[in-house]
Structure 1
């Protein structure tokens, strides 16, 4: 399935991520192999190609990496983020200075492989629940420093995002409740603190906890590690009072049954913490 990809990340967000990736590869002395073997002024044409089936993501990061190394290299995009890949498909064609292309190669492929892997896994999860109203969402379980690009990759695969960070919503989890004293106290304090645009969600593990939470009008309830039959009861109890989100060990084998209970969202940390890189390579013609 092809998904409409989000716009490229703003340069101010993308730039430090890509610069760090390039700098850790080039180190203190640059690309010794290219310096030793490639005559300055050599030009070539290179194709970035998919080696396996999947969904593409990360073209903004890859193109930015090439631009930082050498903005004069021509970068002709053949396939857009969110589109399907088949083995041998040409993703982009580069033409220009051979040294620049070889210096940028690994950083470009690292972004494309990692982010396309996330998009591909997300698409697999999303495909399992197309017959329901539920949406699959990613979590904060991302690679440190790469949250923006990884969450964008989830959207390329047809998923959406839970919180980006601790600063964009209130999510009261079990440890907050334990430290605060009770579900009622935690929700009362959250409502007193939050502005009118702040979402408040609370995590519950049992139907008794859900019954305690609902009178305090959370915007969403995170139903953690509940079996499908318990989720059905929880959705019936909520009865449209707030959003219902299932979480906890959701897999490709279990997501459909949980989505069919009527929940609105299913949060899956595996989208970002367990995605396998999609094999993408560079071929010189």
Structure 2
């Protein structure tokens, strides 16, 4: 699903309000002046967020000629022009920092996600993101994961119930917690259970969890536990997985592998806006 102007415009307007305050104090120097510039990828990576400059220009109320030069999700080399813009110079510069901040972050996330997908090299396992996103940027961060070839897990706590040890401890035990959630939420809301032991895995199976997460387990343990999972229950692995050991989990038989670092340890792609 691409970024929707209608969906992201309220956030972008809030970001503009934060950045511009009561107005750019240097703007009077630019009144009536025209300008042009190019967005340039200064390092290699996957480009995400190409729509953002155009959305910002629209919110700023002045028609700007804006043209992407590459495709969303395209891998580019260092030095590649990725978009160009021309028009009112004050508007171009007012949108410059915010557009770069977002495009750099989104492209960094997309780049990390594609690297993870390529490193795992197992199309039977989908790479998932987590809720470890920057507050206020979740829809942007998760969009970038999709651009990089990953899949969104939960946008929020209302998408799916995930049971962790502190949840079932409050109820009494894991089986009771799953049964209660089935009763309260009904059959349409999935229940995922985070398991750290074989006993917990067996309880989750018996209580008919929809997804079982193997948390902080080695590839060998994951493969052994996966053999016990009946048809109809999906599995996920999470915890302690980095790029350095990611490929070790290829072929382990699970459906999903979630990576928090995709969005909570973002390395921005270096992008600049150069006037011409």
Fold in common (TM above 0.5): yes
Distance in 2, Cα, partners of 1:266 & 1:259: 10
Per the TM alignment, residue 208 of structure 1 is displaced from its structure 2 partner at its CA by 1.3
Per the TM alignment, residue 132 of structure 1 is displaced from its structure 2 partner at its CA by 4.5
**8 Å contact kept, 1:134–1:266:** yes
Residue 3 of structure 2: aligned partner: 8
Residue 82 of structure 1: aligned partner: 73
Residue 25 of structure 2: aligned partner: 32
After superposition, what is the alpha-carbon deviation per residue over 1:94-150, rounded to whole angstroms, capped at 9, x for unaligned? 011111101110011011001101100111101112235111100011111111111
Counterpart of 2:12 (choices 11, 15, 18) is 18
2:271 equivalent to 1:280 = yes
Counterpart of 1:62 (choices 40, 53, 56) is 53
Residue 216 of structure 1: aligned partner: 207
Residue 131 of structure 1: aligned partner: 122
**8 Å contact kept, 1:63–1:108:** no
Where does structure 1 differ by over 6 angstroms across 4 or more consecutive aligned residues? Answer: none
Superposition pairs for residues 157-176 of structure 1, below 5 Å?
157-176=148-167
Distance in 2, Cα, partners of 1:190 & 1:211: 18
Q: How many residues align?
A: 276
2:194 equivalent to 1:203 = yes
**8 Å contact kept, 2:121–2:250:** no
Aligned-CA RMSD value: 1.3
Counterpart of 2:227 (choices 208, 230, 236) is 236
Per the TM alignment, residue 240 of structure 1 is displaced from its structure 2 partner at its CA by 3.0
Distance in 2, Cα, partners of 1:61 & 1:148: 13
Aligned-partner SS, 1:234: helix
Residue 188 of structure 1: aligned partner: 179
Per the TM alignment, residue 92 of structure 1 is displaced from its structure 2 partner at its CA by 1.0
**8 Å contact kept, 2:36–2:84:** yes
Counterpart of 2:102 (choices 99, 111, 121) is 111
2:38 equivalent to 1:47 = yes
Aligned-partner SS, 2:206: helix
Aligned-partner SS, 1:32: coil
**8 Å contact kept, 1:116–1:277:** yes
Residue 267 of structure 1: aligned partner: 258
Flag structure 2 segments of 5+ consecutive residues without an equivalent. Answer: none
Flag structure 1 segments of 5+ consecutive residues without an equivalent. Answer: 1-5
Aligned-partner SS, 2:187: coil
Aligned-partner SS, 1:161: coil
Aligned-partner SS, 1:238: coil
Distance in 2, Cα, partners of 1:110 & 1:231: 39
**8 Å contact kept, 1:259–1:266:** no
